[in-house]
Amino acid sequence: MKLLKLAGILAGALTVMASVTAQADQLDDVIKRGTLNCGVVLDFPPMGYFDKDNKPAGFDVDYCNDLAGVLGVESNVLNLTWGDRIPSLISGKTDVVIGSTSDTLERAKSVGFTYPYFVFKFQTISKKGTPLKSFDDLKNLKVGAALGTTYETEYLAYAEKNGWGKSNYTSFKSENDAYLGLYQGKVDAIISTNTNIATKLQTEEFKDYVAGPYVPNYDDVVGLIAKRSEVAWINYLNLFLVHQIRGGNMNKHYNTHFGSDAPADLIQSLRDNK
């Protein structure tokens, strides 16, 4: 009987140990590994790009490095396309994606979202002289956008709702491909974010182009994404985002990449939406 009782105690202890082991989460894994695998879209300046030394840079890259810093681990920034973001998490290639990911309810079925960390506007860019005064003028033009982006989804939904469909639309594999298609005249206009367009217009390549109408009635609120099941990890990421604002890092990085303090309404919006 004593042996049976001892066996029962040992079995119970092993069950507890197994339970504790099973509860180890992504946060523990990253700290134990000593490396944060952080996905960023690196053809989306100023959020993500390669600098003159071909090293990852940008607002999102700075957030990756800050996160690794507070965790006390090395930062490993992985270059993703828009379409790679969710698959990279599901496959375990990345621990977190800081990739300007719109917090749609559809995407939240597959991955977990943090609090918002940035807000964009969706806008058109076209060559000077293109007859594009209002968003509805796109029905008479050849239009493009990067595959898998929310601005692609929003444009196609708007075009469908307003009756001109997608016969004039071209989907490009990446953000760079979309801008190249515009430059080569494959399309008359593309849809991107106001931040990326502002960056492109500062280059010699796009000096003859202009920013145009915004997607009507739409603010693009974006968050970090992680595996949906990793609740403790997402909670930590949320606290990290709070500290980015509270400690001044958000404003510092905004200054670096946008040349001014972060607008007060942007900061307030991020605080209100947490």
**Model pTM?**
0.80
pLDDT in tens, 154-166: 999 999 999 999 9
pLDDT of 15 > 60? The answer is no
Q: How confident is the model at residue 20 (pLDDT cuts 50, 70, 90)?
A: very low
Q: How confident is the model at residue 23 (pLDDT cuts 50, 70, 90)?
A: low
Instruction: Please check whether residue 82 is in contact with residue 148, taking contact to mean a CB–CB distance below 8 angstroms.
Output: yes
Q: Which residue has the tokens 């367009």?
A: 197
pLDDT of 19 > 60? The answer is no
Q: Which domains does the chain have, with CATH numbers?
A: 26-120+221-272 (3.40.190.10), 121-219 (3.40.190.10)
CA distance 10 to 270: 50
Instruction: Please check whether residue 87 is in contact with residue 39, taking contact to mean a CB–CB distance below 8 angstroms.
Output: no
pLDDT in tens, 236-251: 999 999 999 999 999 9
Residue 259, token pair as written in the block: 């040349």
Which whole number is the average pLDDT over 125-141?
Answer: 97
Helical ranges in the chain per DSSP H: 2-23, 26-33, 59-71, 85-90, 150-161, 175-183, 194-200, 231-246, 249-258, 264-272
Which whole number is the average pLDDT over 242-265?
Answer: 93
Residue 208, token pair as written in the block: 């003859």
What's the Cα-to-Cα distance from 218 to each of 11, 102, 139, 150, 155, rounded to whole Å?
57, 12, 19, 11, 11
pLDDT in tens, 184-229: 999 999 999 999 999 999 999 999 999 999 999 889 999 999 999 9
Instruction: Please check whether residue 141 is in contact with residue 189, taking contact to mean a CB–CB distance below 8 angstroms.
Output: yes
Give kind and range of the element (H or E) at residue 116: strand 111-127
Q: How confident is the model at residue 105 (pLDDT cuts 50, 70, 90)?
A: very high
pLDDT in tens, 51-65: 999 999 999 999 999
Instruction: Please check whether residue 49 is in contact with residue 43, taking contact to mean a CB–CB distance below 8 angstroms.
Output: yes
Instruction: Please check whether residue 250 is in contact with residue 262, taking contact to mean a CB–CB distance below 8 angstroms.
Output: yes
Summary mean pLDDT of the chain: 91
pLDDT at position 18, please?
41
| Main-chain phi, psi angles of 211, to 5 degrees | -80, 140
